[in-house]
């Protein structure tokens, strides 16, 4: 399927919101400053295309179920104008492709070194509790692991100056981190409308 029509604005703004967190039409409407009826109309089109799904997840008030929309399948639409081999296609994402896409969403100068670091530790990924980038500073890569081999690879990579990286504990992760890999979120989905526990009001 060609997703260009569905990924175009203003539907893309709706998809961005529910990709970050399953949301109700009212929550979406408030964030993009439009009517609930307009959002509901767009969600019906996205649902018919098999891009999103809806689910009743409890209630806001007694007797009033809450409808929450979430992404059905993760995909990337590639439009690359390459000399000699132009390409335009949709690609379904598995975990490793998602990691690659998250790396490519970083600053350009981080793409290759962070990919290379990932390839170094890929064989021991089951022993890695997370790979993150500290976006509050100069883009240090933070790897959460207790595996000695992974730690050695990360330390060596850092000493060689290919990318600033460090093994840390989960407690050392700051608030301003960008997730490249988190085994607790890959393949899992939290369907919950409204604010998460402890979440502040939108500013």
CA distance 177 to 136: 7
pLDDT above 50: residue 196: no
Is the model's pLDDT at 202 over the cut of 60? no
Instruction: Report CA Rg, the chain.
Output: 20
User: What is the CB neighbour count within 10 angstroms for residue 36?
Assistant: 14
**Residues 194, 180: Cα–Cα separation, whole Å:** 26
Domain spans of the chain? 4-75, 94-181
| Domains 4-75 and 94-181 are alike in CATH topology | no
State residue 28's pLDDT score. Answer: 95
In this prediction, residue 184 has a pLDDT band, given cuts at 50, 70 and 90, of confident
pLDDT in tens, 59-109: 656 655 588 999 998 888 888 899 999 998 888 888 889 999 999 999 888
pTM over 0.85: no
The CATH number assigned to the domain with range 94-181 reads 3.30.460
Which stretch of DSSP H or E encloses residue 26? helix 25-32
CA-to-CA dists, residue 188 to 72, 112, 128, 184, 191, angstroms: 12, 28, 17, 7, 10
From the number of C-beta atoms within 10 Å of its C-beta (0-12, 13-18, 19+), residue 184 rates as exposed
> Which CATH class, in words, describes the domain spanning 4-75?
mainly alpha
């Amino acid at each position: 399927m060609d997703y260009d029509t569905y990924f175009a604005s203003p539907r893309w703004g709706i998809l961005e919101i529910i990709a970050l967190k399953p949301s109700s039409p009212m929550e979406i409407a408030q964030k993009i400053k439009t009517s609930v009826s307009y959002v509901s109309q767009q969600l019906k089109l996205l649902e018919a295309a098999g891009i999103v799904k809806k689910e009743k997840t409890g209630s806001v008030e007694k007797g009033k179920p809450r409808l929450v929309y979430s992404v059905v399948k993760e995909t990337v639409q590639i439009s690359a104008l390459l000399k000699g081999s132009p390409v335009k296609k949709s690609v379904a994402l598995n975990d490793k492709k998602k990691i690659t896409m998250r790396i490519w969403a970083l600053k350009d100068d981080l793409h290759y070194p962070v990919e290379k670091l990932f390839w170094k530790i890929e064989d021991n990924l089951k022993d890695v509790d997370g790979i993150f980038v500290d976006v509050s500073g100069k883009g240090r890569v933070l790897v959460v692991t207790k595996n000695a081999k992974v730690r050695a690879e990360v330390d060596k990579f850092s000493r060689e100056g290919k990318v600033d990286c460090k093994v840390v504990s989960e407690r050392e992760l700051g608030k301003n981190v960008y997730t490249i890999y988190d085994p607790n979120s890959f393949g899992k989905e939290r369907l919950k409308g409204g604010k998460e526990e402890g979440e502040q009001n939108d500013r």
